[in-house]
Structure 1
Amino acid sequence: MTRQEISDGLWAVIEPLMPSTTGRSRPWTDHRLAVEGIAWKYRTGAPWRDVPERFGKWNSIYKRFNRWAEDGTWEMLLAEVQKQADAAGKIDWVVSIDSTIARVHQHGATLKRDTGGSANHKNPRFEPPDHGIGRSRGGLTTKLHLVCDGRGRPLGMMITSGNINDTAMMTAVLENVRVPRAGKGRPRTRPDRVLADKGYPSKTNRAWLRDRRIAATIPERNDQIAHRRKKPGRPIDFGDQQQGRYKGRNVVERCFNRLKQWRGIAMRSDKLARNYRAAVSLAATLIWIKTDLPPPA
């Protein structure tokens, strides 16, 4: 007996959302073994060639994963489970935003840094020019910027190099939140409130949130407080009520903790940021299903 990577209950939810196995010149084999193999690879952090034969040929599994990363299947799968949760009223729209660093394994750092595509962050499947790999104090690193709902489920994400400042990425990450509606209507993109730490309190970010009527719970940094004392201005409201709300920001840290239980996410070995994002999307989809969506009867 071997431990299943995808339980029967999880697969009952995922299977109807997967691409059809027919309608191709060479029909796909059953998707479940391939998804099981992909999940095994990222849970263990093993190379593709070490995926056990019980899941099928490693090269076929990789090609399927890469094809679906390229055409956006993994992001669409995540969007679908978010849509189902939203239709059931199970999304807490008081969101938290933060980032986490992942070291880049030497197997993932073999491409030149200027061989990616254009930096169009509004396309979730774009490939950054530097492939989301940069040099910081920790060496070659990549950064996962993520916004989650009030229950710690991922809503939107972006992959950048590890030396990118959090403040500069806040608006781009929040613009990545697009939860489809079950019926007619545009996807929901605006949360009720944003919780963030002292890495995000710039005037530009606060103005952007005000323009969209999004409430903010973001403390000021000490240097900002000192600067306002020299040039008196309107202080940021961060009283007892705001401090109470701020305690809920830890859900994003718990979300990172769950994602990084997958060793292939905790340390990046993917050459392409697109593929690394696809792996995070798969793990995020399983988080949503496990927390909220029961298998169909």
Structure 2
Amino acid sequence: MGQTKSRFRQFTDEQWERIEPLLPSNEGRQGHRFRDNRKVVEGIIYRYRAGIPWRDLPSEEFGAWQTVWKRHARYARDGTWDRILHVILADADAAGKIDWNVSDDATICRAHQHSTNTTRPEQDTGGRVESKNRPFRDCEPAGHGIGRSRGGLTTKIHSAVDGRGRPLANVITGGQRNDGAMLAEVLADIHVPRHGKGRPRTRPDAVIADKAYSSGTIRRQLRSRGIAAVIPEKSDTIAARERRGSRGGRPPKLDTGLYKDRNVVERSFALAKQWRALATRYDKLAITYRAAVTLCAILTWLRRLGDTP
């Protein structure tokens, strides 16, 4: 199926035909109509896979590096990759190919010195990079999604994946942000449009997470939305309840069979971090870094939906 991939090409012909009509054409705007879309997008992917400076992109394969960088920055600001991911998710949901038992977790990525030489507060305050009510370009967090944690200057990718490990939502914060405190933000980022009439689906059937998400607040939030919490209790919580005896109440239910599938989110992170410029952050701006995370998610969905052997 499709053309034989080389180290400079990640899309098959069928995959590219699926997303090309969804890319902005720049028609009717100031400047020339976008040309060589495939070459440029492959250049964006190659840069993040190889972890090289933009200036070192092979010009004979991808053209001028400035064009590749500017297109990436533009697509990050206008939310192009998010819109494409939503279309792919809508198609997958209509075909019944999304497993709505969602796993949530976060992973730390070291921030390279090239990404940290910007004016920023000492601690990033976290929060969503994008908003449905404001243009994407206006949503760069004050700290650029970089914070100081035990590992130094780091970024954290908070992700929700479906039951087969395919990304549904990604939120970028500083590395010191608490995983559990960001769960509501990650779930709010899940947005799967319907084919035809109907509101987009935003609610999973269940949320599977580790003990870092075990708190009464999180359980109440999930219960209020009708989402099953598959989260084990912390040992100190268990001990405190047992000390209180009958007044401690009953322990929360845990579907141990479903919890065994929690590691799909870890496997998703391992796959994304094969892109060296995601495993180590070189981007100064959180929106461009998150755009690359979303582009990686798009490629993951296209491959997992049977477009490639």
For the criterion TM > 0.5, the same-fold answer is yes
Task: Give me the whole-angstrom Cα distance separating, in 2, the residues matched to 1:52 and 1:220.
Answer: 51
Q: RMSD between aligned alpha carbons?
A: 2.1
Give ranges in structure 1 of 5+ residues lacking alignment: none
Give ranges in structure 2 of 5+ residues lacking alignment: none
Compute the TM-score of the two structures, normalised by the length of structure 1.
0.93
Q: Give the equivalent residue in structure 1 for 2:249.
A: 234
Q: Give the equivalent residue in structure 2 for 1:292.
A: 305
Q: How does 1:50-199 map to 2 (within 5 A)?
A: 50-53=56-59, 54-114=61-121, 121=128, 123=131, 125=136, 126-199=139-212
Q: Does 1:266 pair with 2:271?
A: no
Task: Give me the whole-angstrom Cα distance separating, in 2, the residues matched to 1:8 and 1:110.
Answer: 39
Task: Give me the whole-angstrom Cα distance separating, in 2, the residues matched to 1:120 and 1:43.
Answer: 27
Q: Report SS of the residue matched to 1:236.
A: coil
Relative distance call for 1:152 and 1:62 in structure 2 (3 A) is: same
Cα deviation, residue 160, structure 1: 0.4
Tell me the number of residue pairs that the alignment of Structure 1 and Structure 2 aligns: 293
Between stretches 119-128 and 198-207, larger displacement belongs to 119-128
From 18, 22, 42, the equivalent of 1:17 is 22
Q: Report SS of the residue matched to 2:213.
A: coil
Q: Report SS of the residue matched to 2:143.
A: coil
Cα deviation, residue 55, structure 1: 0.3
Cα deviation, residue 137, structure 1: 1.1
- Determine if contact 1:21/1:31 at 8 Å carries over to the other structure: no
Compute the TM-score of the two structures, normalised by the length of structure 2.
0.90
From 203, 209, 224, the equivalent of 2:237 is 224
Q: Give the equivalent residue in structure 1 for 2:259.
A: 246
Q: Give per-residue Cα distances to partners, 1:136-164, cap 9 Å, x unaligned.
A: 11111000000000011101111000001
Task: Give me the whole-angstrom Cα distance separating, in 1, the residues matched to 2:167 and 2:126.
Answer: 22
Relative distance call for 1:293 and 1:187 in structure 2 (3 A) is: farther
Cα deviation, residue 245, structure 1: 1.1
Task: Give me the whole-angstrom Cα distance separating, in 1, the residues matched to 2:243 and 2:276.
Answer: 48
Task: Give me the whole-angstrom Cα distance separating, in 2, the residues matched to 1:261 and 1:131.
Answer: 23
Q: Give per-residue Cα distances to partners, 1:188-244, cap 9 Å, x unaligned.
A: 0000011000000111100001111111110000111112123332233446xx111
Q: Give the equivalent residue in structure 2 for 1:29.
A: 35
Cα deviation, residue 172, structure 1: 1.2
- Determine if contact 1:33/1:55 at 8 Å carries over to the other structure: yes
Q: Report SS of the residue matched to 1:151.
A: coil
Task: Give me the whole-angstrom Cα distance separating, in 1, the residues matched to 2:285 and 2:37.
Answer: 23
Following TM superposition, where does structure 1 have runs of at least 4 consecutive aligned residues deviating by more than 3 angstroms?
117-120
Cα deviation, residue 293, structure 1: 5.5
- Determine if contact 1:106/1:269 at 8 Å carries over to the other structure: yes
